[in-house]
Amino acid sequence: MASPDEVTVSSTQGFGRQVSQVATLLETKRQAKITAINLAIPHAVNLVELIKHKVKGIHQVNSFERVPNTNKTRVVFLLSLDALDQTSKGYQAPIPESQVESKSWDELKNPPARRAFDETKREETARKPEQYHREEHKQSQPWKDRSHEAKTKEGEEETKRPSTRTRGSTERYERGSSRGFRSSRGRGTRGARGSRGRGGYQNERRAPPEQGKYIRERPHEETKREDNEIFVNTMGNPSFFLKQALLLLKKDGKRTVVIKASGGAIPKAVKVAEDVKRYELGLHQINNFSKRKVQVLYRAQEEGLEDKTIERELEGLEITLSKDEQDKTHPGYQAPLPANQVKSISIEEVEKLR
C-alpha cells in the first residue's frame, strides 16, 4: 500500500490526477516520491519530465527497490525542492530555468482545460431558464424509453400506462442513438486519443519547426555495440528480441546478455527480460536507468531561414541478465526465478519461436 508521501503511477490512470497529487506533495512537503512497476514505468517517466518542466529547481534521484514477497522491482523517482545527495548514482540536477514553463500550484492541481470547461458550462447553466434545461435534457437522451409516462393537462394528476416494449426489443436501435462512439473533450473516438490527452494536459513533447520549411536530418550515430547487447525498439516484434537473447545464451554460449531500451520501448524490454528468465534457468537480473541527450537537426528549405537544432533528453533502461552471481546489494537486483517457474527449451525450439 502506498504511503501518504508517495504517488503510485498506473498505466490506466489519467495524467491530471497524478500531476495534482505530485504538486500537492511538493507544495506541502517540498518533496514527492513517484513509483511504478513494469508497464507503468514510461508513464512515470513522462510524469516526472512534465513536473520538472513546470516547476523550477526540482532535484531528482532515481532508484530501485524490491517489492515485498514478490520477484518484482519497483522504480522510484524522488523529486525535491531541496538539494539532494549529488553523489547518489541516480542523481539528476535541476534542468535550466530557460526550459521551465513555470506554473502556480493551483494551476498544476487543477488542469487548465478542465477548469475553463467547467466554468463555461457553469455560466451557460446560470443563463438558461429551468424549463429550457428540462427540454434540453430530453432532447439529449432520445434513446431513453418514456412510453410509460403520459402527462395530462396542467393541474391534473399524472397517469401511467405500461410499456409496450418486450424484452429484447430493437426499438432503441431502430430509432438510433445520438451518442455514437465514446468521445469527449480530452478523448478521441475509439482507437484514437484526443488532442489534449488525459486530464486536459497537452503532449509536452517539443513540436518540430514549421513543416514544409524544414526537413529533419537523421545523423548517423556510430554506436559501439557489444556482441551480447540487444537494443529493443518500439517497432520490432517482442518474439524477435526474445529469440535473439535466448540464442546468445544457448547457442553462442554467452554468460551475460544486456537488454537496452529507451522511451516507449521500455515496457517491451521489460517483457522480453521476463520471458527470457522463464526459458533459461538461473539468470540473475540487474536493472539500471540511464539518461542521454539527443540533438535533432532541422535543415532549412527556404532562403532566409537558418537551421534549427532541438535538444531532447531520453530516459533509458538497461537490464542485465547473467548466469553469474551479481551484486545482491544493488537496488535493481532480482534473484533467479524458482526452477518450477522456468520451462527450459532446446535451441531448435528457440529457432522456431515466432
For 19-55, how does the pLDDT look when each residue is reduced to its tens digit (9 = 90+)? 888 999 999 999 999 998 877 887 888 888 889 988 9
The per-residue pLDDT for range 279-311, each reduced to its tens digit, is 999 999 998 887 777 788 888 888 888 888 887
Tens of pLDDT, residues 234-251: 888 889 999 999 999 999
Question: Residue 354, Cα to own-chain centre: how many angstroms?
Answer: 27
Domains of the chain: 1-132+176-205 (3.30.110.20), 215-351 (3.30.110.20)
If you count them, how many residues does the chain have? 354
Q: pLDDT tens digits for 306-354?
A: 888 887 777 788 999 999 999 888 878 888 988 898 998 999 998 888 7
CA angle at 249 for the pair 337 and 220, rounded to the nearest 5°: 115
Phi, psi of 337 (to 5 degrees): -70, 150
Higher pLDDT, 205 or 82: 82
Quick: pLDDT tens for 183-203.
444 444 444 444 444 444 544
Confidence of residue 107 (pLDDT cuts 50, 70, 90): confident
Q: Quick one: CA dihedral 162, 166, 167, 173, positive or negative? A: negative
- pLDDT score, position 161: 52
By CB atoms closer than 10 A (0-12, 13-18, 19+), residue 333 is middle
Q: Which of 93-97, 137-141, 152-156, 175-179 has the highest mean pLDDT?
A: 93-97
Give me 282's grid cell: 538461473
**Rounded CA gap, 267 and 143, in Å?**
42
User: CA-CA distance, 300 to 18, in Å (whole number)?
Assistant: 39
